[in-house]
Amino acid sequence: MKKLKKTIPILILCLALGIWLAGCASSGKGAPEKTNCDASIKWDVTDQVKLTQFDCAVGKHGGEPSLIFTVGLENPTETPLRYRLNIWLEDMSKAAGHYVPRKGKPPVVEPGKATTVKIPFIKTNKLSKDILVIVTTMDME
């Protein structure tokens, strides 16, 4: 019973955060031209990136069944940028994030260049039907 009393405020906070994030997302801003994901996807993508690919598939990652997202990003600006990519599987209460690029000196996507990243949701063996995608730029100073 004590454990339940401690977890209720955390659950309420998570629910409120999820509602706030869903309210901040828009249906089409920044969406790639096509995707193979059969899901309701909400996009909140900075104007400083162009999504060139957004695919999802169930496969294996590290020997475990996984839902794997392949995301292509292109830097359309004249400034080298680093991005933060977050994917929420809202119907499964799961989330993952990725710095793009992960490494480098400095870790940036050069102007006009593109890169692709894979984000696995390990031990997830089915496709999500309700996805939120957020892409922001990171301050490199």
Residue 21, domain member (yes or no): no
Q: Can you give the pTM of this predicted structure?
A: 0.76
Q: Is residue 5 part of a domain?
A: no
Identify the band that residue 10 occupies on the pLDDT scale cut at 50, 70 and 90. Answer: low
**Quick one: pLDDT at residue 17?**
41
Q: Which domain holds residue 91?
A: 27-138
Q: In DSSP terms, which residues pair with 137 in a beta bridge? A: 83
For the chain, list the strands marked E by DSSP: 40-45, 50-61, 64-74, 82-89, 94-100, 114-122, 130-138
Residue 67 lies in a domain: yes
* 89 to 80, 104, 123: CA distances (angstroms): 30, 29, 13
* Residue 94 domain-assigned (yes or no): yes
pLDDT computed for residue 9 by the predictor: 53
β-pairing, 64-74 vs 50-61, is antiparallel
* Domain contains 20: no
Answer whether residue 32 is part of any domain: yes
Residue 18 lies in a domain: no
- Domain contains 12: no
pLDDT tens, 81-109? 999 999 999 999 999 999 999 998 999 99
Q: Which of 24, 57, 26 is nearest to 42 (CA)?
A: 26
pLDDT tens track for 40-62: 999 999 999 999 999 999 999 99
Domain count, the chain: 1
- CATH code for the domain of 64: 2.60.40.3230
